[in-house]
Structure 1
Amino acid sequence: MIPSLNSISSRLRVRQLKLLIALEEHGSLHKAAEQVAITQPGATKALHEIETTLGATLFTRTSQGLVPNDLGRCVIRYARLIQSDIAHLREEMIGILQGQGGRLSIGVIMGAVPLLMQSLNRLRQTQPELSIHIVEDTSARLLALLDQGRVDVVICRTSVSTRPDAYEKLIEHPESLALVAHPNHPLANTTHSSLDKLTGYRWVVYPSNMPMRLALEQQFRLAGLDFPRYPIETASTFTMLSLLQEDPYLLAVMPSDVALFSERFGLLKRFSIDLQINSEPYSVVIRQGADVTAPAKMLIEELRQDMGLTGQPHK
């Protein structure tokens, strides 16, 4: 039986976690002991203490040495997270003491990446010693990271959460959509296109229930057209761009900011078609009632400038 959380928390030590990581890397108690600067008997004792604390065997002895089992790999993964968090703690403490630098962890959906890059570029000019970590993912996963304290602030949509009231939307930003294709698409250079002329082509779309997929489905309904059959589905913008490069007959809808950025580098072409709908706005989000770090406050002010907003936060 796995011991209680209180039991594990009171008995597990950081140095033991370092030993687990070293054992995974070397597969040898002798080499792992050298890395964490203890004797081999000390390492053997420490491993026994860890397994006793957790109530489980974590390694299997093989001809290649010690190999972590499924439970061992799970524990080592969290040991690395704890070690990383301690390193981040030190960085942030140094930043606070020095009045500059520190660490900033940001979550962002794909459509807001160009906007975030503008704000971060200015922030880095005034805070060159700031350590920055960026996570790009779906709104649901970003909100989960925010709940876990893994990120300081996220740019996403809170409507995907079952408890949107748990979050505070500081700034809200509308998001327009663009119809795009490979620059060599047969209709890419036409002066004007209509949606009914595009139904015969293949499409790459976002997965069902994602806001941009719902917006595209609504556009087809407004036009009285059936949604394209047998589309390729992906939540990855990089995958979408790669597919458009490989197949000049594919069509896609993506956020206008991302489309403009990609068009600048000749990766795709925007169609001159007026989409009558926009995707749901996204927001700069923190946890309700959470303390915001100094670096996060500075980023929020930069984002406020890029979104063309001043004064009080959006509620």
Structure 2
Amino acid sequence: MLPSLSSIAARLRLKHIRLLVAIDDEGSILKAAKQVALSQPGATKALQEIEEALGAQLFLRTNRGLEPNELGHCVIRYARLIYTDLGHLREDMAGILEGHGGRVAIGMIMGAVPSTTQVIARLQAKQPTMSVKIVEDTSERLLQLLDDGRLDLAVCRTSISHRSDAYDAVAVREEELAVVGHVDNPFVRARALSLLDLASSPWVAFSANMPMHRYLEREFHDHGLPFPRGVVETTSAFVTLSLIDRNARMLALMATDVADFFRRAGMLSILPLRLRTRSDPYFLVRRRDRTLSPAAQMLVEEFSGGALEAAVRSEDEGSAWRSEAVPTA
């Protein structure tokens, strides 16, 4: 039986975390010992302490050195996360002491990338030594990272969560949608265009469980048209662009901000089609039960020119942050 959490926490030391990472890097106890400034017998003893603290064997001893078993891979993964977090702790402390705010980690859905990176660029112009980590992913994944403490903030939607009351959210932007295609798509210069004209075209869309896919389905349904067959599903903007580049007839549904960015770069065109479907707005989201770091507070303030500063620090019901469920992502 695995030891209790309190038992593990009482027996594991930071030197054990360093040693686990070093063993994974070096593949041998001797090289790992040198990396963490231990003797080989000292490293061997420390490894024994780790396995005793966790109540399981983590490595196979072979003539090629130490090889982690399945449990070992799991423990090493978390050891790296802990060691990385210690590095982030040091960065935050240094930032506070030096007055530039340290480090902030923010996630964003694809549709929010253009507007959010603009905010980050403004902040970095003011705080050039601030460290910023950016993750682009789906709302579901971003909220998971927010829950795990891997992100300070996320620009996404929370209604996909069964625990939407765990978050506070401030509306950032309404999201409009556009149909995009190759720069030489035959429909680009059409004077009048309907969805019926596009029904037989090949489409690339978000995965079936994603809101952008549902928006496209809704658009076809509202026009009384069957959803296209043979749709290529992906959550990657790069894959979407690559498919459009290779097929002049390929179409996709995109947030207008993203489509405009790629259009200006000459990578795609926006078709002259007015859609009935509108996407839900996205929000700046944080966990209700966590205090924001100085760097995260700076970023929040940059989103609204300082107007949210009081809201971030307030727990009052009148805060600009809202805790009720917000629309789908």
TM-score by length of 1: 0.95
Measure how far apart 1:62 and its partner are.
2.0
Is the contact made by 1:188 and 1:271 (CA closer than 8 Å) also made in structure 2?
yes
1:25-104 counterparts in 2 under 5 A?
Answer: 25-104=25-104
Q: CA deviation at 1:290?
A: 2.9
Report Cα offsets for 1:98-148 as digits up to 9, x if no partner.
Answer: 221401000111110001111011100111110111111110111111111
Residue matched to 1:216: 216
- Counterpart AA for 1:70: E
Q: Do the aligned residues in 2 keep the contact of 1:119 with 1:306 (CA within 8 Å)?
A: no
Q: Deviations over 1:161-185 (max 9, x none)?
A: 1121111112342100010011122
- Distance in 2 between residues matched to 1:80 and 1:177, nearest whole Å: 40
1:1-315 paired onto structure 2 within 5 Å: 1-305=1-305, 313=320, 315=322
User: Residue 175 of structure 1 contacts residue 255 of structure 1 at CA under 8 Å; is this kept in 2?
Assistant: yes
Instruction: Give the deviation of 1:64 after TM superposition.
Output: 1.7
**What secondary structure sits across from 2:174 in the alignment?**
strand
**What code does the residue aligned with 1:117 have?**
T
Structure 1 residues 216, 33: CA separation in 2 closer, same or farther (over 3 Å shift)? same
> Does the 8 A contact of 2:153 with 2:284 survive in 1?
yes
Percent pairwise identity: 50
Question: Displacement, 1:192?
Answer: 2.9
Give the secondary-structure state (helix, strand or coil) at the position aligned to 1:280.
Answer: coil
Residue 197 of structure 2 aligns with an amino acid whose one-letter code is K
Deviations 1:11-46 (A, max 9, x none): 001111111111112121111111100100101111
- Structure 1: which 5+ residue stretches go unaligned? none
How much does 1:305 deviate? Answer: 5.0
| Shift in Å, 1:304 | 2.2
Change (3 A) 1:215 1:305: farther
1:106 alignment partner, SS class: strand
Q: 1:171 to 1:305 in 2, by over 3 A?
A: farther
Distance 1:132 1:33 in 2: 33
Letter in 2 for 1:255: A
Deviation at 1:60, TM superposition (A): 1.0
| Paired residue type of 1:313 | A
Mapped partners of 1:32, 1:112: distance in 2: 43
Assess if the C-alpha contact under 8 Å between 2:101 and 2:294 holds in 1. Answer: no
Work out the CA distance in 1 between the residues paired with 2:210 and 2:281.
Answer: 13
Q: Distance in 1 between matches of 2:218 and 2:255?
A: 16
In structure 2, give the amino acid aligned to 1:116: T
Alpha-carbon RMSD across the aligned residues, in angstroms, is: 1.8
Query: By how many angstroms is 1:295 displaced?
Result: 1.6
Give the partner amino acid of 1:42.
G
**1:192, 1:2 → 2: CA distance?**
67
One-letter amino acid of the counterpart of residue 210, structure 2: M
Residues 5 and 135 from structure 1, CA distance in 2 versus in 1: closer, same or farther, beyond 3 angstroms? same
SS of the equivalent of 1:122 reads: helix
* Per-residue deviation, 1:289: 4.4
CA contact (8 A) 2:171 2:281 kept: no
SS in 1 for 2:300: helix
Kindly state the Cα deviation for residue 63 of structure 1 after the two structures are TM-superposed. Answer: 2.7
CA contact (8 A) 1:171 1:304 kept: no
CA contact (8 A) 2:59 2:72 kept: yes
Structure 2 gap ranges (5+): 312-318, 323-329
Letter in 1 for 2:245: Q
Counterpart Cα distance in 1 of 2:131 and 2:172:
26
Query: Within 1, Cα distance between the matches of 2:86 and 2:306?
Result: 33
Q: Secondary structure at the match of 1:258?
A: helix
Residue identity opposite 1:119 in structure 2: V
What amino acid is aligned across from residue 9 of structure 2 in structure 1?
Answer: S
Letter in 2 for 1:26: E
Give the Å deviation of 1:223.
Answer: 1.0
- Report the counterpart of residue 314 of structure 2 in structure 1: none
Amino acid of the structure 2 residue aligned with 1:185: N
> Given the two structures, how large is their TM-score scaled by the length of structure 2?
0.91
Letter in 1 for 2:320: P
Q: Secondary structure at the match of 1:185?
A: coil
Letter in 2 for 1:81: L
Contact 1:201 1:250 in 2 (8 A): yes
